[in-house]
Structure 1
Amino acid sequence: MSERVTRRQAALAAAAEEDTPIVSNNEAVAMNGNGNTQTAIPSDVDAVGPRENIFVFWPNIIGYFRIVLAIASLYYMPLHPRTCSILYSVSCLLDALDGYAARYFQQSTKFGAVLDMVTDRCTTSCLLVFLSSAFPRWAIIFQGLISIDFASHYIHMYATLAMGGSDTSHKSVDKSRSWLLNLYYTNKTVLFMCCALNELFFIALYLLSFSSPLLSPQLLEPLGESKATAIQTGAQVNSSVLRQLFTNPYSAGALEMARANKMDSTFPWILAGISAPIMGLKQFLNILQLVKASRWLAEGDVRSRKAAGLPKKKGNKSS
């Protein structure tokens, strides 16, 4: 018993000289899981400082407001082109403000970056879905644009996390991979102009669905007595409240509202002509990003397979 006490005292003295904490065997097992003594690291960040609520950071609050504006624009999209365009445009312009707020308040977060990207993808896709229904002959084009947009950003984000690490930003594109993508992500002016004019082109197409007899002649065609009668006697909603909230898009009232909201096509055509080249550049960047990210992932696969000794040579079969 005296020998154990002596050894314990000697250990305490040595620990005091080296300033090393002494832990029991049970504590060592709890910390490391294998019985090896290690210096304990606080697992609770509250022990270091006050816990921050990432969800109420100013850039993320702006992101939530963008979502509210986008949903409101979708509500007005079928029949109110002016109101919808204003709400949608403000939501897109706030995309630049949240980045400024993140830098000003030092509140750049991974959650905010993902929220920003998801909001961009979803709002643009919803507008393209509407354009698919407004211009059905071009629906396959809009469907392709949605697919490229989602695929490009998804594989780019995945490649950045898998190959660059969790602390690497998706905007950190090395010039050796692509100088054009590097310019796109590092130059704020180029990034803003590409994104803004890309959205402006789709907004112009949306306005043309209410104005251009070339693209949407069905709004200008007279209904005729047979079509008018069929619409008037179409599916009826029993509740008057529901009729006010959810106007039947095939009803005579909805068609009259669409005709009343028609606008002159000159201004939308000018917007479409100005923004079309940048929209084409943005789609090229999406395809380029998809290709470069795919190749980056493939390079990682080659290195992983080489490190694992794959493909393994099959031994000669015994006769």
Structure 2
Amino acid sequence: MSERKTRRQAALAPEAAGTAEAVDSYAKSSPQGAGDDKSNGNGQAILSSRSGVEFTPHENIFLFWPNIIGYSRIVLAIASLYYMPLHPRTCSILYSISCLLDALDGYAARYFQQSTRFGAVLDMVTDRCTTSCLLVFLSSAFPRWAIVFQGLISVDFASHYMHMYATLAMGGSDTSHKNVDKSRSWVLNLYYTNKVVLFVCCALNELFFIALYLLSFSSPLLSPQLLKPLGETRAAAIQTGAQVNSSVLRQLFTNPYSAGALEMARANKMDSTWPWIMAGVSAPIMALKQFLNVVQLVKASKWLAEGDVKSRREAGLPKKSRKNT
């Protein structure tokens, strides 16, 4: 066995030597010398030439672990929206897991060294969309306060868009939106650089809206319709469910009303004590988060305005008008 292995190594020796000589010759032919050869840490040489081309393994950004976690968040968020009208417990669990995974994708990005701009944008877009969908439901659950929830959605989207655009336009495409200089805003610097502060603010902000969602099913104080008896006619309608004309749709999408009747009855009997406690504890942090959104919007607007002033000066604007002589 060892003799056969020795013969095989002897046969491959000239080929290996030829390859080594070719690599060595390629490296020496470079004006920068053999010292320009690099290693990727896996025993594979990466050759650099005058053209600057490096032979590195292909990476699929879309399959990075942080981005896969981001896709999972989207699936969970969509599932929570499906159960949102009639299944408060199921919806709250799915929505909460989706929000908690927001912290896990950042940890995965640092652990696997897979921080990407696509991942950062995916994370921010997912956060904005999920919160907005919940606020839209709260607008329908509490019509009197719909304008407040609409305002929160607008400020949230506007502040993050303005901040992201200002960072890219003024700081450069390689600058992260979390790199906020203290001289520009110390409170935003603390918010984005301190992971504990960032997690607490985001988590309790979502917790407040989840608490309001649960109170819409359990608190007669906020939802007076819970005090009204269901009635035999309405109960029969819920048990029967909405009729779907297409048999194909009836097979693909099961009727949520018949399945949700029992859940609705349980929700009406839900004790509102814990949702009220959750809302009371998280309300100050929610208010702080909205204040930070306003600060972020104002600071980003001023930063863009400073850039506009500088650009106009460099362009010589405003140009003095010449009077006709």
TM-score by length of 2: 0.79
In structure 1, list runs of 5 or more residues that go unmatched: 1-16, 21-38
In structure 2, list runs of 5 or more residues that go unmatched: 1-28, 33-48
SS in structure 2 at match of 1:161: helix
SS in structure 2 at match of 1:209: helix
CA distance in 1, matches of 2:130, 2:249: 26
Q: What is the identity, as a one-letter code, of the residue corresponding to 2:203?
A: A
CA distance in 2, matches of 1:18, 1:54: 32
CA distance in 1, matches of 2:223, 2:163: 37
Identical-residue share of aligned pairs (%): 79
> Structure 1 residues 232, 185: CA separation in 2 closer, same or farther (over 3 Å shift)?
closer
> Structure 1 residues 171, 241: CA separation in 2 closer, same or farther (over 3 Å shift)?
same
RMSD: 2.7
Q: What is the identity, as a one-letter code, of the residue corresponding to 2:267?
A: N
Q: Do 2:239 and 2:261's aligned partners in 1 also have CA atoms closer than 8 Å?
A: no
Measured after TM superposition, the shift of residue 152 of structure 1 is: 0.4
For each residue in 1:5-39, what CA deviation from the matched residue of structure 2 results, as whole angstroms up to 9, or x when unmatched? xxxxxxxxxxxx9959xxxxxxxxxxxxxxxxxx9
Q: Do 1:219 and 1:259's aligned partners in 2 also have CA atoms closer than 8 Å?
A: no
| Equivalent residue in structure 2 for 1:174, among 164, 170, 181 | 181
Q: Do 1:207 and 1:268's aligned partners in 2 also have CA atoms closer than 8 Å?
A: yes
Q: What is the identity, as a one-letter code, of the residue corresponding to 2:227?
A: L
CA distance in 1, matches of 2:240, 2:94: 34
CA distance in 1, matches of 2:66, 2:202: 18
Aligned to 2:213: 206
| Equivalent residue in structure 2 for 1:185, among 181, 192, 196 | 192
Q: 2:67 aligned with 1:60, yes or no?
A: yes
Q: Do 1:125 and 1:146's aligned partners in 2 also have CA atoms closer than 8 Å?
A: yes
Aligned to 1:36: none
Measured after TM superposition, the shift of residue 167 of structure 1 is: 0.4
CA distance in 1, matches of 2:241, 2:124: 41
Question: What pairs with 1:1-319 in structure 2 (closer than 5 Å)?
Answer: 19=31, 41=51, 47-223=54-230, 236-239=243-246, 242=249, 245=253, 247=255, 257-262=263-268, 263-318=270-325
For each residue in 1:55-103, what CA deviation from the matched residue of structure 2 results, as whole angstroms up to 9, or x when unmatched? 1111111111111111111111111111111111011011011101110
> Structure 1 residues 231, 123: CA separation in 2 closer, same or farther (over 3 Å shift)?
closer
SS in structure 2 at match of 1:317: coil
CA distance in 1, matches of 2:134, 2:117: 26
For each residue in 1:164-189, what CA deviation from the matched residue of structure 2 results, as whole angstroms up to 9, or x when unmatched? 00000000000111000000000000
TM-score by length of 1: 0.80
Measured after TM superposition, the shift of residue 237 of structure 1 is: 2.3
CA distance in 1, matches of 2:309, 2:98: 42
